[in-house]
Amino acid sequence: MTINIGDKVPSATLMTMGEDGPQAVQTDALFAGKTTALFAVPGAFTPTCSARHLPGFRDRAGALRDKGIDQIACVSVNDAFVMGAWAADQDINGEVIMLADGNGDFTKALGLEMDASKFGMGGRSQRYSMIIEDGVVKALNVEDGGEFRVSSAEFMLDQL
């Protein structure tokens, strides 16, 4: 079952790369009391994700904050080491919280998984974005396969 507007984001443990290595992040704590722009990509370092999706949110972080977003987070079915390396490669500098969903548990709980086996990538996340207020989904934008439009930072700015 896919998450819907008005649903509470499921409780899950994600990972982020800290100064001393991977650190657990609980979704309940991450989203509590904040308005979050969350977006998901099929894979770190993949073409659209690296050229447009992540840079769009990085470059528009100030504009999103001006419209009420407290934090921006990116999630991918990758490990924390990959997400940390991707953040460094993309000069994220803390503008986006890079969340690793290594086993895809969070993605499956959202009902937004996809099978990318034909690309040699196994189980991955669909490309989407959502606005979360205090742990509740207020907007959900899921892309049709192969597209990049409704999950962009620009589209989200128009929603706010």
pTM (predicted TM-score): 0.94
Q: How far apart are CA 58 and CA 9, in angstroms?
A: 23
Q: How far apart are CA 54 and CA 17, in angstroms?
A: 17
Q: Where are the domains of the chain?
A: 13-159
Asked if CATH classification 3.40.30.10 holds for the domain at 13-159, the reply, yes or no, is yes
Q: Please say if 74 is a catalytic residue.
A: no
How many H-runs (helices) and E-runs (strands) does the chain carry?
A: 7, 9
The 10s digit of each residue's pLDDT in 51-71 is 899 999 999 999 999 999 999
Active-site option among 37, 38, 41, 49: 49
Task: Calculate mean pLDDT across residues 36-48.
Answer: 93
Local confidence band at 115 (pLDDT 50, 70, 90 cut-offs): confident
> How many C-beta neighbours within 10 Å does residue 22 have?
16
